[in-house]
Structure 1
Amino acid sequence: MTDTEFGGVRALVTGGASGIGAAVVAELRERGATVAALDRSDGAADGGYAVRADVTDDDSVRAAVDEVAGRFGGLDVVVNNAGTGAQGTVEANGDDEWHRVFDVNVVGMVRVSRAALPHLRRSSRAVIVNVGSIAATAGLPQRALYSATKGAVTALTRAMAADHLAEGIRVNAVNPGTADTPWVGRLLDAADDPEAERAALEARQPHGRLVSAREIAHAVAYLASPLASSTNGVSLAVDGGMQDLRPRRG
């Protein structure tokens, strides 16, 4: 290791071209890591290395992970951030949509982790960080499908942490509250009254605003850090207190 926190650390971030993923790429690079952004879109945040792949395509995932590990001489950190959203009650979406969203949000993480494990086993500071959601632990209206996938991510994170503990591979998750991301922006743009919808989303978080992508990136960096070697199997909420606080108003 060099004298910086992430000096010598080689990381891969899925969904790294925009939103939370781009913030994570920038944060890890700022702290000294060498970072690749895996995304369906071209380009990487902050001028970093980019590799194109689709997490729903196992062949493209394996090729991308191997390309990054070959270029960097190994792999130490994987951030499973790529995901998609869904709205509605349990009856709002058909089987095809349920399969599609699970394929991206859950099986996508499986594909990337499975491809990365042979490389991570050769690292002395191996970490996987999964990006979940507060929807895994708090009942939110009109989010049945999305919540089901993020609940699966929480369970998957714990199971992976147990499975790979003896191999020296830590697995943790970050559960953001409603974040100021492009996907949320599109939801607001489609609302009948975008300003009222934004106010409602902000009001349900105790600190009264959306969570920023950089705040989530800080949490990812903590869990990925070699200095957090005793933190394993946790899901860290970054939600302004939405999950656990019941503040008095007025």
Structure 2
Amino acid sequence: MKLKNKIALITGAGAGIGEATAKLFAQQGAKVVVADRNIEQAQAVADAIGEQAVAVQADVANAEQVKAMVEAAVGHFGALDILVNNAGFGTLGTVVTLDEDTWDQVVDVNLKGVFLCSKYAIPEIVRRGGGAVVNLASTISVVGIKDRAAYVAAKGGVAALTRAMALDHALEGVRVNSVAPGVIASSYYDRMFEQVADPVAFKKGLEARSPLNKMGEPTDIANMILFLASDDSSFATGAMFTVDGGYTAW
């Protein structure tokens, strides 16, 4: 029970890495706020967990909704120990082909969302006596990828913001780290499989990005998030932990 009596808020927890993290945290004794823009998915995850969880609807790019989300979390469970900034999405496009609205949407959710959630959650974590923030960065924070300009920029910002937050809040007892996933099996890729001409070849290409020649699973990332949220990583802050099957070692 690595998170016994802890209260965690996880964004984008209606599916994928967020869902796996919410369920793992609950198994480890935490009470979990399952936050997602899609309340039906969030509620399904909360229902699967049971009375240890509550679902909250929020768009992390909207300050009023984020503030209400944190207030709902504290109002329901009484406090907050852990924030997992997981919500995010990507889209195709270079700086030439992207339109301004799409750029803004990607940056708002992936980067501004981390800022807003942390802005309102960290004071509650400090009030509790300290805790942990885990941000979801990406391997592309360090290596880049073609035709994903907004996403690369936003996730690079998350990695840098993590370091700044760690320094700003270290003496308040708040540890801040990020996780950089590689290619992780998810509904995002499931949709892409439906759209490409040769799904088998496309999947093999994704697997080949890793020296292990496979895609990761959401639980692979959830386990690292658990480590960073728990006292097992009590001396870790301001760091990015890469879980990518060796992709960035090529």
Q: TM-score, normalised by structure 2?
A: 0.94
Q: Does 1:228 align with 2:225?
A: no
Q: Does 1:135 align with 2:132?
A: no
What secondary structure does 2:179 align onto?
strand
Q: Does 1:55 align with 2:60?
A: yes
Distance across 1 between alignment mates of 2:175 and 2:129: 11
Q: Does 1:74 align with 2:71?
A: no
Conserved in 2, the CA contact under 8 Å of 1:86 and 1:143? Answer: yes
Conserved in 1, the CA contact under 8 Å of 2:130 and 2:172? Answer: no
Task: Pick one of 171, 176, 187 that aligns with 1:182.
Answer: 187
Shift of 1:61: 0.9
The within-5 A match list for 1:76-155 is 76-155=81-160
Shift of 1:188: 2.2
Conserved in 2, the CA contact under 8 Å of 1:202 and 1:208? Answer: yes
Calculate percent identity across the aligned residue pairs. 39
Query: Which residue number corresponds to residue 248 of structure 2?
Result: 243
The within-5 A match list for 1:39-54 is 39-42=36-39, 43-45=43-45, 46-47=48-49, 48-54=53-59
Q: Which deviations, in whole Å up to 9, do the C-alpha atoms of 1:116-168 show, x marking residues without a partner?
A: 12201112341100011111111222222211111010000001001111111
Conserved in 2, the CA contact under 8 Å of 1:61 and 1:115? Answer: yes
Query: Which residue number corresponds to residue 198 of structure 2?
Result: 193
Conserved in 2, the CA contact under 8 Å of 1:129 and 1:171? Answer: yes
Distance across 2 between alignment mates of 1:10 and 1:98: 33
Q: Does 1:29 align with 2:26?
A: yes
Distance across 2 between alignment mates of 1:9 and 1:28: 9
Conserved in 1, the CA contact under 8 Å of 2:81 and 2:131? Answer: yes
Distance across 2 between alignment mates of 1:31 and 1:93: 42
What secondary structure does 2:24 align onto?
helix
Q: Does 1:14 align with 2:19?
A: no
The structure with the greater share of residues assigned to helix is 2
Conserved in 1, the CA contact under 8 Å of 2:136 and 2:180? Answer: yes
Unpaired stretches in structure 2, ≥5 consecutive residues: none
What secondary structure does 1:129 align onto?
strand
Q: Which deviations, in whole Å up to 9, do the C-alpha atoms of 1:101-129 show, x marking residues without a partner?
A: 00000001111111112201112341100
Unpaired stretches in structure 1, ≥5 consecutive residues: none
Q: TM-score, normalised by structure 1?
A: 0.94
Conserved in 2, the CA contact under 8 Å of 1:16 and 1:44? Answer: no
Shift of 1:44: 4.5
Alpha-carbon spacing, 1:116–1:11, altered in 2? closer, same or farther (3 Å): same
Provide the alpha-carbon RMSD of the alignment: 1.1
Query: Which residue number corresponds to residue 160 of structure 1?
Result: 165
Across the two proteins, how many residue pairs are aligned to each other?
242
* Counterpart code for 2:220: E
